[in-house]
């Protein structure tokens, strides 16, 4: 409430996203008024204020959940949506609630890796790990073409299943157990040629996103993996004119084909990308972790985990290591990927390009139960830091 009202300093990465948002903030009058002061996005070092949001946060602080989903805040948001032709009602907002879900998991070289179930895309990372578990990654160069090629090919197979099968399990049957079975991993792995890129897979075009991820471990070793996103830098670009609330854009992930499991429908949640991860060993949490970046996140989780488990990197090394991502039928390779690795990927049949922005942004806290210590890592690709006190 204090920062929304008194102002906060715009940091460099926030200014970068503000300057080149995926959403046109000038279309919505309230968005333009709040987020384009003077008709321009704030620059790094500017102080930005959101007084309408401060007032909304005070209502929520006083009334809790009801302060948002009922009363004047809900009325402002629903009223704006109805003006735009939306079908939302106050009853829709009042009926909204969160659910407790049981995580889905796989084992990777003795570690338990846990993700949220569909409609979350976390299963995609588990599929990739199951496929890669059949290759001896530790025997190959961690920054070489062979390792990156295997990661890309496992990702291509896993994303195919993500896009074809993942949806709201409250409304659609998703074959989670079958997809996570060792037999299915064997089947997918058999399709991978370590020396050649696959040629018969569907086109993959994945949107990016901007997400906030936080890992927390307390002195009693309670671990929290927390993620939040409006999807894209400014969500839908629609803002409650009195409340200053930016409305999210998760409906983008729905399909319009009525035959698709993830087709849009009343009261249905879309497949969504935000993935809080947790790693365990011997029944205890050893690392809450996450890597932001919309559809990149499964790649980011797998790259982080294999860096640590297969190559013995600490959290910061694993986060800092250069990344690749298969998108728009090409391999996006960060500038830190070695020239020889890029050439090796091309020799295997991949088209390699540079990404237009950093790939993801990771954070993690590793718990060493024997030493009684915590080791944090935070990604320089975004704002953030590792902090202990």
pLDDT tens column, 224-235 = 999 998 888 889
Chain segment 125-167, per-residue pLDDT in tens:
999 999 999 999 999 999 999 999 999 999 999 999 999 999 9
Beta bridge partners, 215, equal: 225
Q: What is the pTM (predicted TM-score) of this model?
A: 0.94
On the question of pLDDT at 197 being above 70, the answer is yes
Chain segment 45-73, per-residue pLDDT in tens:
999 999 999 999 999 999 999 999 999 99
Q: Report which of 102, 147, 156, 149 is spatially closest to residue 124, judged by C-alpha positions.
A: 156
On the question of pLDDT at 297 being above 90, the answer is yes
Domain 104-210+273-378 architecture? Orthogonal Bundle (1.10)
Phi then psi for residue 113, to 5 deg, are: -115, 125
Residues 28 and 309: their CA atoms lie apart, in Å, by 47
Q: How far is CA 55 from CA 58, 130, 283, 327, in A?
A: 5, 48, 44, 41
| pLDDT grade for 207, boundaries at 50, 70 and 90 | low
Name the one residue in this structure whose structure tokens are 């715009």.
10
| Cβ atoms 366, 287 nearer than 8 A | yes
Sign of the C-alpha dihedral computed for residues 190, 153, 380 and 297 taken in this order = negative
pLDDT score for 209: 63
Residues 310 and 138: their CA atoms lie apart, in Å, by 5
Q: How far is CA 4 from the centre of its chain?
A: 25
230 tagged catalytic: no
Please tell me the least confidently modeled range out of 16-30, 53-67, 342-356.
16-30
On the question of pLDDT at 178 being above 90, the answer is yes
pLDDT score for 108: 98
- Strand 277-281 and strand 223-228: the pairing is unpaired
Residues of the chain with CATH 1.10.246.130: 104-210+273-378
The residue from 23, 124, 211, 306 that is catalytic is 211
| Residues across the chain | 389
């Amino acid at each position: 409430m204090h920062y929304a009202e008194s102002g906060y300093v715009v940091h460099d990465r926030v200014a970068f996203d503000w300057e080149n948002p995926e959403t046109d903030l000038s279309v919505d009058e309230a968005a333009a008024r709040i987020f384009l002061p003077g008709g321009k996005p704030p620059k790094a070092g500017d102080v930005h204020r959101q007084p309408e949001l401060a007032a909304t946060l005070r209502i929520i602080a006083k009334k809790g959940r009801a302060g948002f989903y009922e009363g004047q805040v809900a009325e402002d948001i629903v009223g704006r949506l109805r003006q735009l032709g939306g079908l939302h009602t106050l009853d829709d907002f009042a009926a909204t609630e969160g659910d407790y879900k049981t995580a889905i998991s796989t084992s990777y070289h003795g570690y338990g890796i846990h993700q949220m179930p569909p409609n979350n895309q976390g299963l995609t990372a588990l599929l990739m790990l199951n496929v890669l578990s059949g290759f001896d990654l530790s025997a190959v160069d961690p920054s070489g073409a062979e390792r990156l090629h295997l990661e890309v090919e496992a990702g291509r197979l896993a994303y195919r299943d993500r896009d074809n099968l993942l949806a709201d399990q409250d409304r659609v049957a998703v074959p989670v157990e079958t997809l996570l079975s060792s037999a299915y991993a064997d089947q997918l792995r058999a399709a991978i040629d370590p020396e050649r890129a696959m040629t018969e897979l569907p086109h993959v075009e994945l949107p990016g996103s901007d997400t906030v991820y936080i890992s927390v471990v307390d002195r009693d070793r309670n671990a929290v993996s927390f993620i939040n996103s409006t999807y894209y830098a400014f969500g839908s670009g629609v803002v409650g004119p009195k409340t200053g609330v930016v409305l999210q854009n998760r409906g983008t992930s729905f399909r319009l084909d009525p035959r698709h499991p993830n087709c849009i429908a009343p009261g249905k949640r879309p497949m969504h990308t935000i993935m809080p991860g947790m790693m365990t060993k011997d029944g205890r949490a050893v690392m809450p972790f996450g890597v932001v970046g919309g559809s990149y996140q499964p790649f980011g989780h797998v790259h982080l985990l294999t860096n640590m488990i297969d190559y013995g990197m600490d959290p910061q090394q694993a986060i800092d290591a250069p990344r690749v991502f298969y998108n728009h039928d090409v391999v996006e390779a960060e500038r830190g990927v070695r020239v020889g690795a890029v050439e090796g990927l091309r020799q295997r049949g991949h088209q390699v390009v540079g990404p237009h922005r950093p790939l993801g942004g990771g954070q993690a806290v590793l718990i060493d139960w024997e030493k009684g210590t915590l080791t944090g890592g935070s990604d320089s690709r975004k704002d953030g830091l590792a902090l202990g006190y």
